[in-house]
Amino acid sequence: MAENLLEIKDLTLSYGEFKIVTDVNFSVKPGEIVCIAGESGCGKSTLIKAILGIKHLGTQVVNGSIILNGRDITNLSVEERRQILGTEIGYVPQNTRGSFNNIRSYDIQYKETLQCHNQKFDRGEAIKLFKRLNFPDPERLLGHQPWEMSGGMNQRMAIGLAVLQEPKLMLADEATSVLDVTSQKQVIEELAQLRDELGWSILFITHNLGVASHIADKLGVMYAGRMVEYGDIRKVLDDPIHPYTRALLAAIPGKDRKLPVGLEGRPPLDGAEWTGCTFEPRCKHRTEACKTRAYCLKEVEPGHFASCSEGRVKQ
């Protein structure tokens, strides 16, 4: 196996003329959980859509490459793509209600999906695996239909389907954000078990840095389509470098009944031409130089990258 299961190299993505993701670089090692966080609209799902590479999702690769286990999958044909989706790359979307037919039992839908990938659905093996992942009462669950289930259970059954095909890389786009905190915790623990028990890698997209701190080994913070900070989760959360990461952390609600410090202003519009730092208009540490300084993700300390360290305060 290659050193990195997934490598994203200089990736720039667009929808038609609108450039959404610019020059993104990161990798996911075997058995690693990498979280990507950032404000709504910064391009997180666009990145996931590009890795899935499904043409009708509309994401275009303008530049760069996506390497899966040493193989360049940036421009696969529809048939080549079909062969890796499900079996090498699993996907759990934000809202899994639309992933299932509401009035057919999970076991029938599992069987049909696996057949599409020339795999057989083995009910006994599925139950064994689900028990290992602490799914409650999997024998009964498999016979249920999605409309009978809570959002949390349905989300788990979607994870279950992805798990059955044994992809080594799981893409989870906001897989827990529609859930209440109890179901969120259970789903996160189940995903973490995929790594702990089965050695899988997960690319996990979330708005919630609390969720990220629970599950991730690495954290990437995106702003306006660029990775502005990236590194070991503890380094990024305990000693954030970029002013945007620090602002995001300050926006987490506390228990002290005070309102979190929100972020004034808005990110630039999709595809806007921009000179200098895109965060500059909203940054409380901005200087004149920021208006023209070109983006560059630097290794500020070993394994901890940031595109800006203006105003950094050591705790």
Binding site for ligand ATP (CB under 6 A): 15, 18, 20, 38, 40-46, 58, 207, 270
- Comparison of 174 and 280: residue with beta carbon closer to Mg ion: 174
Residues with Cβ within 8 Å of residue 149, at least 6 apart in sequence = 141, 157
> Which residue stretch of 36-44, 84-92, 196-204, 248-256 sits at the interface with Mg ion (rule: CB under 5 A)?
36-44
- Are 211 and 185 a contacting pair, CB within 8 Å? no
CA 278 to CA 262: how far, in whole Å? 18
Chain centroid to Cα 21, Å, comes to: 14
- Contact between 173 and 205 (Cβ < 8 Å): yes
Sign of the alpha-carbon dihedral angle for 142, 147, 152, 158:
positive
Judged on CB neighbours under 10 Å (0-12, 13-18, 19+), 158 is buried
| Least distance to ligand ATP, CB of residue 45, Å | 3
- Which partner in Mg ion, ligand ATP, none is near 270 (CB below 5 to 8 A by kind)? ligand ATP
Residue 182's binding partner, choosing from Mg ion, ligand ATP, none, with beta-carbon cut-off 5 to 8 A by kind?
Answer: none
Stretch that binds Mg ion, among 11-19, 42-50, 52-60, 83-91 (CB under 5 A): 42-50
For Mg ion, which stretch binds (CB under 5 A), given 40-48, 60-68, 151-159, 259-267?
A: 40-48
Q: Does 45 bind Mg ion (CB under 5 A)?
A: yes
295 binds, options Mg ion, ligand ATP, none, Cβ within 5 to 8 A by partner type: none
Nearer to ligand ATP, 153 or 228 (CB): 228
